[in-house]
Amino acid sequence: MGFLRTIFFLAVLGIVGVLAYNYWSGHGWTLRPPSGASGIDAKTATQRGAELTRKAGEAASKLEDAVSEGTLTAKITSKMALDDYVKARTINVDTSGTVVTLTGLVESAAERERAVRLARETAGVTQVVDKLEVKKP
């Protein structure tokens, strides 16, 4: 019981101390800041908001690019997987913007040409970099 009284006494003492400080500092008997002071600098907040908006726009643009690249990669990989002449599991497709790089090992020159053609015919691809190696017999 003595512990609870001590806690209660300290809480009351703290509240009285805050009220006394506000009264003697000219803010009256209140726990709120003075009416003229909002505690927020509007100019700084506006600048910070504009900066955050710009950064969010840049992040959204990067995300859109990444999604576009992923979409192109998925389209090309699925085309190769569905093709009867290309073994897609041995070909790696990397996309950077609209440029596609094909790497890996293929069985023949015909398979290599077919893989490159499938990549070139995909909508959104502007250039295909062929780094495919033909397996030696």
The distance from CA 48 to its chain's CA centroid, rounded to whole angstroms, is 20
Domain range for 86: 50-137
Domain-located, residue 7: no
Calculate helix-pair angle for 109-120, 42-82, nearest 10 degrees: 140
Number of domains composing the chain? 1
Instruction: Compute φ and ψ for 125, nearest 5 degrees.
Output: -90, 130
Domain-located, residue 15: no
* pLDDT tens track for 70-127: 888 888 988 898 988 888 788 999 998 889 999 999 988 999 999 999 999 988 888 9
Domain-located, residue 121: yes
**What SS3 state is found at 133?**
strand
| Predicted pLDDT of residue 103 | 93
Domain-located, residue 87: yes
Give yes or no for residue 38 having a pLDDT over 60: no
Domain-located, residue 39: no
Proportion of the chain in helix, strand, coil states, percent, rounded to 5: 60, 15, 25
Burial (CB count within 10 angstroms: exposed 0-12, middle 13-18, buried 19+), residue 122:
buried
For the whole model, what pTM was predicted?
0.55
